[in-house]
Chain A
Amino acid sequence: MKELSLNVLDVAKNSVKAGATLVTIKITETDETLELSISDDGCGMTPEFLANVTDPFCTTRTTRPVGLGIPLLKLEAEQTGGSFAIESKAKELSPLDHGTTTKALFYKNHIDMTPLGDICSSVVTLIQGNPDIDFLFIHTSPGFEVRLDTRELRDILGEEVPLDNAEVLLWITEFLKGQYSGEQSPD
């Protein structure tokens, strides 16, 4: 992957496939590190599946028995000297509190650091493809915090206007870009 934001797009789709109603994407930066965390309230994984999940030959896809999404993210984190972890609680074992959290830690100044890239575009693409799921996106860094919660947008839009409406997607893009460029929201 040329950008970490593409890994975000890819790995968040696992949460969608797990039947999540809320997917939380957090990017937390310090001067030296970037931590990516993607958590969901989906069906989770059993300990047996979890033990093999970074194996490329462990996949839920049906076209061929290879899945590279998780192994690629793990590789990209570890090649900077960072780390990777997944925690999960399966719905069948823990019916009231289930879901998966994927975390990857990167050392930003390492020569093999993959740039974050166009994260706004990944967030908007996730919303466009999954308008019935809620996404909470929080990116903090020394100097700025960017936040988007589709539950708040849904409250304003009501039931008639879906989140994948073209004008709404455009608004979300500009809302995110505005926060990145340091403008303050008038609300």
Chain B
Amino acid sequence: MKSLAELAAIRERMKDRVVLREGQGDIRVVVGMATCGIAAGARPVLSAFVEGVANEGLSDKVTVTQTGCIGICQYEPVVEVFEAGKEKVTYVKMTADKAKEVIEKHLKGGSPVVEYTIGSNQ
């Protein structure tokens, strides 16, 4: 059981680091979480990105956010990756396992996983 005392300890550890981090995330991962996305399985995809980014120590450069309907419901779960100076990458029909691969190859390795992008799935 987690106690409130542990939460206070997290605060002590984090409070100096959080301020430094703000505005430094140069990669933004956006997961579509409208009714269409949720019904198609976006929740575990989002969880995989949130956990994966934290576990791989990528929190300083990657932020994971949620958005509404992106407009291509038949391709949900849809994940968009925005990186300064690069073209947006749109991943479609995502799963938690595919998310782990994207974290490894794209967010860490720098090269998009082409087979999961919308261009390869039309």
Contact surface of A with B, Cβ cutoff 8 Å: 1, 6, 9-10, 13, 61, 63-64, 67-69, 72, 118, 121-122, 124-125, 128-129, 152-153, 156-158, 160-162, 165-171, 174-175, 178-179, 183-187
Contacts and interface: CB of A to CB of B under 8 A. Distances in A.
Interface stretch (B31-39, B81-89, B107-115): B31-39
A187 B34 contact: no
B71 A186 contact: no
A10 B14 contact: no
A129 B14 contact: no
A8 to B, nearest CB: 10
B90 interface: no
Interface string B54-70: 10000100001110111
A68 B73 CA distance: 12
B43 A121 contact: yes
Interface in B37-56: 38-39, 43-44, 46-47, 50-51, 53-54
Contacts of B105: none
Interface in B8-22: 8, 10-11, 13-15, 18-19
Main SS of chain B's interface residues?
Answer: helix
Nearest to A174: B2
A185 B4 CA distance: 9
Contacts of A165: 10, 14, 18
A161 B10 CA distance: 9
Contacts of B2: 171, 174-175, 178
A31 to B, nearest CB: 27
Given A122-B43, A166-B59, A186-B3, A6 B10 contact: no
The number of chain B residues touching the other chain, given as a range, is 35 or more
Given A125-B46, A168-B7, A171-B6, A6 B69 contact: no
19 contacts: A1-B39, A10-B38, A63-B68, A68-B35, A125-B33, A125-B43, A125-B47, A152-B4, A156-B11, A157-B10, A158-B15, A160-B18, A160-B19, A161-B18, A165-B14, A168-B7, A170-B54, A175-B2, A186-B1
Contact of B71 (A63, A156, A185): A63
Contacts of B6: 171
A9 B43 contact: yes
Contacts of B46: 125, 128
Given A63-B71, A157-B10, A187-B3, A6 B50 contact: no
Contact of B65 (A72, A122, A129): A129
A94 B53 CA distance: 44
Among B2, B15, B34, which residue has the most Cβ atoms of chain A within 10 A?
B2
